[in-house]
Structure 1
Amino acid sequence: MTSLKTQLIERAKAEGFDVVRVTTPQAIPEAPARLRQFLAEGFHGEMGWMHERSEQRGAPATLWPEVRSIIMLGVNYGPDSDPMAGLQDRAGGVISVYAQGDDYHDVIKKRLKSLGRWWGEASGAPLKVFIDTAPVMEKPLAAAAGLGWQGKHTNLVSRDFGSWLFLGSIYSAVAIEPDAPERDHCGSCRACLDACPTAAFPAPYRLDARRCISYLTIENKGPIPAEFREAIGNRIYGCDDCLAACPWNKFAVAAREHKLKARAELRVPRLAELARLDDAGFRALFAKNPVKRVGRDRFIRNVLIAIGNSGDVGLADAAENLLGDTSALVRAMAVWALSRLDPARLVGQAWRRDLEADAGVLEEWHGAEAQPRIHLTVQSRVGVP
């Protein structure tokens, strides 16, 4: 007779999950202390929601006291081409692999709910279904369940799927035989740490999110701090550098499910076209896609950083056109981008500075004018040699 756990695994694979393992709610006793240290050091930045339910994150039973087993599931989203290739195309923007297709929250949630319905009937026990919007520490739990291990970049690494796994979980009120955890196979390798453009890893297995490009372009709501702008390059949503650098990716295979594959128009979209997006155009382009969550203004902020880093004077028009945008965040980054591409043209738009009321935008104007190349141009316009 086929065991209930075997049936669970078979059903999970039929639902589109590539790997399924089981652990216990007591399997990550070290997690609360690590989370407290992370929060105490301020490495979470503006992600206040991590503080709000930190107790539930660190101890699964506090989230749902009835839990007896945690079913951890993974979906492969491995790319079918080099995710770093687009970094050489400075007239295009690079979107993180996971955000080039349909929103994985929606895709995986449907699979989790379907599997959960079946499991509830098969086990006769209550359950809860979670994806990463809930206070669940998926990566430590996935490592405890044997899906992989947390690499030095703090993300999960799998021997079969490299660094390319979406995670979901089902908390079950019935006890299931747990799987053995996966041991750490990173060894002396530090490829992921060395690949980070902004030095966001103060030590192996520790991430300062405030320096991470994924945080800066997604979670951060304000201007990109000046110290990180050049290092961001043309990454306009997220960053895959540390993931792509992992040697274990050589064993990974491209995602087999169509819904998790990249949309052609989002592989390396043209910066000039993106800069023209209004709110309606943004919503249309990123319908059913994770990028929609940041909103048009923050996305255009990222696009302008990429434009400023492009070295392509042909993109100066795109930056200049956004100097009068309704969003102060966009106007601020437009000043920075144009100061990088065509300082003389920015000087010609100085009348906008005189009408500007937003302190953040004025700060960008003052910062641009402090640059020697712009200062000299201003003086020459008023007859000073």
Structure 2
Amino acid sequence: MTSTALARMKSFVAADARRLGFCATGIADAAGSPLAGERLAEFVANGRHGTMGWMPETLDRRRSPRDLWPNVRSIVVLAMNYGPDEDPLAILDRPDRGAISVYARHRDYHDVIKGRLKELAGRLVARAREAGFGDHDAKVFVDTAPVMEKPLGERAGLGWQGKHTNLLSRDFGSWLFLGSIFTTLELEPDEAGRDRCGSCRACLDACPTNAFPAPYQLDARRCISYLTIETKAAIPRKFRAAMGNRIYGCDDCLAVCPWNKFAERAREAKLVARDDLKAPRLDALLGLDDADFRALFSGSPIKRIGRDKFVSNCLIAAGNSGEPALLPQVEGLLADAAAPVRAMAVWALGRLDHGRALRLRPPALDIERDETVRSEWHVLEESEV
């Protein structure tokens, strides 16, 4: 391609991306990032991926885009803004409500973005053919494939990976969904983003569970997003009080970033928070059966964790709430069919009415066979508050 043709192609991509609702677009070459690869390898070697077994399994393919697809020559990285219309941390002061991460308060972003990436990729390939560049191919990715999207976003000039390991933008702050188009076209790459965090450590200091061992490092095993979404194991007791009323994900490190002074509200209607998910009542959520859960979260990313995990998270929030009105529901869930729910009901009851929990322990242990639930009953101590 000539330089003029390359410039026209990039202009086409940027304009079509804006038409489809993307707020930023950049081009990265297909070479891997040595620093990103080293950080990922260290993350896995230290076991910081927790129970996410797919991380070590896909480690080699993540190091370089060409390890994933040898034919790729350029990568179009796109961002879609999902900025909230209110302070996402205000909900933390309402203990009778559940705090849901901003990104999960409406439609699943995978569904919103992937179709538009496919449309843009198809138009890009067709435009290249019409311009006489021959037949080319393109593949689209949104989070679910072994693609290091945040380092790619930095390489494409969309921003930089902050100390909280997420991508930051001078124009949109923290609230960005990322997607990418891998193509066999040779497009001119953009200048990489430059780290502008400086000496700020607001995100590191805001983490309720101290999930950042150092700037630019994350220990997922301590991260509330991992604990409430990714792991199926019981959430360790040492993190439960710090979770407060966070029942799906955590926005603290994103929300406190000073660069959010430039952030905008989401323009895509499917990413604007549903009113019923901004501050849902814990008593309503604790009463969800499987059918209710599926109906409430149809089309939402929350649906993928399942009712049992979600209600377990809500029970931790109930235990932290100090709300006696939640006691009947918590006690009722001691007999839930799902062991993870029963286990967290024990913990929540111990927090809300420790004496009542101790009185119920002997008969409960007579019939309980699940070891995780039994261990929750056993650790109830007279001194616990």
TM-score per shorter chain, which class? Answer: over 0.9
CA distance in structure 2 between the aligned counterparts of 1:364 and 1:303, rounded to whole angstroms: 17
User: Partner letter of residue 308 of structure 2?
Assistant: D
Aligned partner of 1:257 in structure 2 is: 268
Q: CA deviation at 1:353?
A: 2.1
Q: CA deviation at 1:348?
A: 4.1
Which blocks of at least 5 consecutive residues in structure 2 are unaligned? 130-135
Aligned partner of 1:333 in structure 2 is: 344
Encode CA deviations 1:235-281: one digit per residue, 9 max, x unaligned. Answer: 00000000001000011110111111001110110001100000000
Superposition map of 1:71-150 within 5 A: 71-124=76-129, 125-150=136-161
Q: CA deviation at 1:35?
A: 1.3
CA distance in structure 1 between the aligned counterparts of 2:263 and 2:104, rounded to whole angstroms: 19
Superposition map of 1:195-206 within 5 A: 195-206=206-217
User: Partner letter of residue 263 of structure 1?
Assistant: R
User: Partner letter of residue 256 of structure 2?
Assistant: A
1:359 counterpart = 2:366? no
2:32/2:64 contact within 8 Å kept: no
CA distance in structure 2 between the aligned counterparts of 1:192 and 1:18, rounded to whole angstroms: 24
Q: CA deviation at 1:20?
A: 0.4
Aligned partner of 1:379 in structure 2 is: none
CA distance in structure 2 between the aligned counterparts of 1:198 and 1:246, rounded to whole angstroms: 17
User: Partner letter of residue 323 of structure 1?
Assistant: L
1:184 counterpart = 2:195? yes
CA distance in structure 2 between the aligned counterparts of 1:337 and 1:373, rounded to whole angstroms: 12
Superposition map of 1:1-385 within 5 A: 3-26=8-31, 28-124=33-129, 125-350=136-361, 351-368=363-380, 370-372=381-383
Q: CA deviation at 1:346?
A: 2.1
CA distance in structure 2 between the aligned counterparts of 1:244 and 1:372, rounded to whole angstroms: 36
Which blocks of at least 5 consecutive residues in structure 1 are unaligned? 375-385
Q: CA deviation at 1:187?
A: 0.2
Q: CA deviation at 1:66?
A: 0.5
1:27/1:144 contact within 8 Å kept: no
Q: CA deviation at 1:344?
A: 2.9
Q: CA deviation at 1:373?
A: 6.1
Q: CA deviation at 1:30?
A: 2.2
Q: CA deviation at 1:100?
A: 0.4
Greater displacement, 140-149 / 348-357: 348-357
1:332/1:361 contact within 8 Å kept: yes
Aligned partner of 2:133 in structure 1 is: none
* CA pair 373-158 structure 1, distance change in 2 beyond 3 A: closer
CA distance in structure 2 between the aligned counterparts of 1:242 and 1:17, rounded to whole angstroms: 24
CA distance in structure 2 between the aligned counterparts of 1:27 and 1:39, rounded to whole angstroms: 18
2:309/2:340 contact within 8 Å kept: yes
Encode CA deviations 1:41-96: one digit per residue, 9 max, x unaligned. Answer: 00100111011111111111010001000000000000010000000000000000
Q: CA deviation at 1:26?
A: 1.2
Identical aligned pairs, as a percentage? 58
Greater displacement, 230-239 / 31-40: 31-40
CA distance in structure 2 between the aligned counterparts of 1:246 and 1:56, rounded to whole angstroms: 31
User: Partner letter of residue 249 of structure 1?
Assistant: N
Q: CA deviation at 1:372?
A: 2.6
Q: CA deviation at 1:345?
A: 2.6
Encode CA deviations 1:2-46: one digit per residue, 9 max, x unaligned. Answer: 711101110111111111000101151322222111100001001
CA distance in structure 2 between the aligned counterparts of 1:373 and 1:340, rounded to whole angstroms: 8
Q: CA deviation at 1:371?
A: 3.0
**Equivalent residues, number:** 373
CA distance in structure 1 between the aligned counterparts of 2:374 and 2:290, rounded to whole angstroms: 24
CA distance in structure 2 between the aligned counterparts of 1:129 and 1:15, rounded to whole angstroms: 15
CA distance in structure 2 between the aligned counterparts of 1:34 and 1:198, rounded to whole angstroms: 21
Aligned partner of 1:382 in structure 2 is: none
CA distance in structure 1 between the aligned counterparts of 2:144 and 2:110, rounded to whole angstroms: 8
CA distance in structure 1 between the aligned counterparts of 2:215 and 2:13, rounded to whole angstroms: 35
| Secondary structure of the structure 1 residue equivalent to 2:334 | coil
2:342/2:373 contact within 8 Å kept: yes
CA distance in structure 1 between the aligned counterparts of 2:217 and 2:48, rounded to whole angstroms: 9
CA distance in structure 1 between the aligned counterparts of 2:384 and 2:256, rounded to whole angstroms: 37
Superposition CA RMSD, Å: 1.2
CA distance in structure 2 between the aligned counterparts of 1:134 and 1:103, rounded to whole angstroms: 16
CA distance in structure 2 between the aligned counterparts of 1:357 and 1:77, rounded to whole angstroms: 45
CA distance in structure 2 between the aligned counterparts of 1:44 and 1:169, rounded to whole angstroms: 23
1:94/1:267 contact within 8 Å kept: yes
User: Partner letter of residue 197 of structure 2?
Assistant: C
Q: CA deviation at 1:174?
A: 0.7
User: Partner letter of residue 100 of structure 2?
Assistant: I
CA distance in structure 2 between the aligned counterparts of 1:29 and 1:45, rounded to whole angstroms: 23
User: Partner letter of residue 238 of structure 1?
Assistant: G
Q: CA deviation at 1:108?
A: 0.4
Q: TM-score if structure 1 supplies the norm length?
A: 0.95
